[in-house]
Chain A
Amino acid sequence: MAVYKAAGELAELAKQRAADLLEASVDDLEVADGRVGVRGTDTGVSLADLAAREQLKVETVFDSGAASFPFGAHVAVVEVDVESGKAVVDRIVTVDDAGPVLNPLLAEGQRHGGIAQGIAQALFEEVVYDEDGNPLTATFADYGFPSAAELPSFTLVDMETPTPLNPLGAKGIGEAGTIGATPAVQSAVVDAVSHLGVRHIDMPATPLRVWTAIQAATEGAK
């Protein structure tokens, strides 16, 4: 937002300088293609020439005044093998509303990465220490880092609600996946085995934890 605001202020400054130079009214000037020109004519001056005469520089501060609220919804379909306790994500459908998006390709990439990390937090990833405080998950061989084989492709649904708090209407997107995917997947795992009496499983829902929860619930029912 600060860059957007500064760019606008810089364009105004360039127009004022060009107005003096071209002996034109600021209202008749437009900034386009690296130059300031008199609207409807060929008369104009390049930004480079203006900057060569005197540095074109503005400093500005943007304060949004309050926090914007990106929002969304994530739905996960998870299959659990009740004999081994292994949970597999079949599908995940996500809606994340970041307001107007300048670069959809990059925004989608942020969502993909976040979803993967969110799924992984629900099912695989945990930093473990022994009783003496020694780390037990210090390499990729010990830490549950997901590979492509553990994840499905993701279904993204777009939604665009601008925030009134800034001129572009933009909100955050970088962490959306990690926020929504984790509870969606975790709740789906519990839901998949709830008919056996399971009501809760600690994250990450590893096969051992799921299997133990199923054993505890079914033994209690006997």
Chain B
Amino acid sequence: MTSTVKVQITVNGQPTSADVEPRLLLAHYVRDVVGIKATNIGCDTTSCGACTVLLDGESVKSCTVLAVQADQQEVTTMEGLSPSPDELHPVAAAFRQEHGLQCGFCTPGMVMATVSLLAENPHPTEREVRENLEGNLCRCTGYHNIVRAVLAAAEAQGGDS
């Protein structure tokens, strides 16, 4: 018999709760327990960053965070970022505007990592953008338009430093 642990996690502003196995990963909690699928699982080994979400505002790779570690905390995924499809979060809007994606698999992770980066450093240089997104891999874009999108998002968010 498997023992379970009760967790209470606020996901995109909504309280969620479940009895989960202690080994359950946050990525699987979000995708399979809560049932929202924007958070992609790429490598399962913390290398690719596709599963990046915000945990109490900081970006984490949710394939190597346990759901029980997120107990009593707040998780934000790509679904929780923009108020509506017509009213995109500035970072999501910039990725769309600058064509910062091709196949789209890395995009939710890239966007969440960017939100976290710009919260810490609202006006990064190109070099800083590249260094800070090092943990998020993309095979399609060569990062060119992703970096452009991040710089454009920083510009659009203005001087809220």
Contact = CB atoms under 8 A, between A and B. Distances in A.
A140 B45 contact: yes
Given A105-B99, A139-B45, A153-B147, A147 B134 contact: yes
A192 interface: no
B86 interface: no
Given A105-B99, A148-B130, A151-B130, A139 B47 contact: yes
Contacts of A154: 142, 144
B135 interface: yes
Contact of B144 (A105, A112, A139, A149): A112
A10 B133 CA distance: 48
B95 to A, nearest CB: 13
Contacts, number: 69
Interface residues of A, number: 21
B43 A148 contact: no
A117 B131 CA distance: 19
Interface of A is mostly: helix
A171 B76 CA distance: 44
Interface of A: 105-106, 108-109, 112-117, 139-141, 145, 147-149, 151, 153-154, 177
B102 interface: yes
Interface of B: 43, 45, 47-48, 99, 102, 126, 129-131, 133-148
Contacts of B45: 139-141
Given A141-B45, A153-B126, A112 B147 contact: no
Contacts of A145: 137, 139
Given A148-B143, A148-B146, A153-B147, A139 B135 contact: no
A108 B144 CA distance: 10
Contact of A113 (B102, B136, B137): B102
